Structure 1
Amino acid sequence: MLDVSDPAPSFTLPSTEGGEVSLDSLRGSAVVLFFYPRDDTPGCTKESIGFSEALQAFADAGAKVYGISRDTMAKHEKFTAKHGLTTPLLSDADSTVCEDYGVWKEKNLYGKKHWGIERSTFLIDAEGHIARIWRKVKVPGHVEEVLEAVKAL
């Protein structure tokens, strides 16, 4: 299980911006990674829209923001277009990055167990270390809380 001050696990994933995003290439900037269960579900949509609406504020504070789920690039692109999202989304189709960050969990929904992404956000400092972790995120107020943490770095 990752903890604050641990090195953030490296990855390279396809992005809705085109091409791939590598965490190592983002050194020198703070990075916010928000892991979410699925495109176009109510909570995930609200969270993604919230980060998109605050994207400029994060940039002004020196942070890059990325959403990560197991959805395919085709689903990400459809989701982005449908809701006018500006936050880049990364596809972790084989859940390797989700496992590395400890967000791939067994869940219990109406008495049925299944595996899925636990909504979580990681703030990574400019040196590539985890500065803050939010697990089992509740969407209301979350984007603002993360932005305040970025400003406090």
Structure 2
Amino acid sequence: MTLRIVRVHDEATVLEWQQVHNEIVPTAALSVDEVRERATRNVLEVAYDGDVLVGCSTVRPPDADTPAETVIARVLPPYRRRGFGETLYQHCLARTQGKGVETHILASNVDGVRFAEKHGFVEVETYLLPGDTVPFVLMRLG
């Protein structure tokens, strides 16, 4: 397994990042314009096994509302349990300043919650976005 991680930098990578995000987080699907805007303030990356798209990630810096950095590694279901999530997560973690790390996971993504718990994250709160019916779980690295 050789994971190739590429920063979102053109229309193709914007569309691939959006594809993975929207498949894993269908209740908070993002438009292409929303992905482009996020790429201006966050590190968005896509991950490939060779030329096959297997995942994407987000590293969000702290801000006035959230003093912790946010790390989110997403792996498409057919590619889970092959080490891609571990590699992508460690890559994202290396991008942080280590001043507190959190992640947000759709509660229905049992694999994602289990992965975060295995890596030392603990649940801080569960919240619903306006209009949603499936909550997100906010977890912090303990």
Same fold flag (TM > 0.5)? no
Q: Which TM-score applies when normalising by structure 2?
A: 0.30
> Which structure has the highest strand share of the two?
2
- TM-score normalized with structure 1 length: 0.28
